[in-house]
Amino acid sequence: MIQGFLQSGEKIVELPTLLLIHLFEMFVIGIPASRTLSLQKISRERAIKLIQQLTISNKIFSLRGRIPITNQQGELVYEARGEFAFFNPTWCLTNAQGEVATIRRKVFAWRPTWLITSQLGVFKIQRPIWSVVRKYQVVGGPLDGAEMTGNFWDLDFKITHRSEYLARVQGKLLTLRDTHTIDLLKSDPQSSLLTVITMVVMHMDRSGWQFAQNDHVA
């Protein structure tokens, strides 16, 4: 049984359920068969298999930089740590095998920019200055052009590359930690690692680490 989520409804559904809905529309409501078949095709394209679920969190009022990323069993999968420095500290992302990436805020830049050195190579993550919702863009590397876009409430996000979903992110309210659940939707290691790196950058940015409130202009 294939499971996935529909972009429009943001819900986990089963494909057979979608087909039943379209049959109901065709025979009971009277929607033309051509339109129903078109809807079925769209639904299949948008139904994406959930590969793995992770949780990322950090203490909202913590002065020390530590961001754990755990799996559904609560086991530590990744951990990001930042050195305590007054000016431009470097963050290190590790897993059970060791270091997988370093993250450093670029101080002199027109837009908030993070420099990434990782197993994916060297690339940048940038946040546009003028945007209605929070957005991050990947520049360079094997997934150049990937984007993470939030909703109006700055809680839920989607990560895409060339119109293909890499991950879906949901924030939690009323907690002492800034916590998000990450649904990984691609099985390849590159997409998973980029998703984790982007989420760490977002948490650093939201928490004010790396002096995000003091953007300098070159």
DSSP string, 13-62: EEHHHHHHHHHHIIIII---HHHHHHHHHHHHHH-----EEEEEEEETT-
Q: How many degrees, rounded to 5, is the angle at CA 167 between CA 8 and CA 127?
A: 100
Task: Specify the pTM.
Answer: 0.72
Looking up tokens 């500290």, which residue turns up? 89
Sorted by where each starts, the structural domains of the chain and their CATH numbers stand as 3-46 (no CATH), 52-211 (2.40.160)
DSSP string, 70-107: EETTS-EEEEEEE---SS-PEEEEEETTEEEEEEEEES
Residue 216 CB-half CA count within 13 A: 9
pLDDT at 145 (0 to 100): 97
The 10s digit of each residue's pLDDT in 35-65 is 444 444 444 444 556 789 999 988 655 555 7
Are 7 and 48 spatial neighbours (Cβ–Cβ below 8 Å)?
A: no
Q: Place 110 in a pLDDT band, splitting at 50, 70 and 90.
A: confident
189-197 mean pLDDT: 97
The 10s digit of each residue's pLDDT in 53-99 is 999 988 655 555 789 999 999 999 999 998 765 566 789 999 999 99
Q: Count of CB atoms within 10 A of residue 143's CB?
A: 21
- Tokens at 31, concatenated: 């929607």
Q: How far apart are CA 79 and CA 76, in angstroms?
A: 7
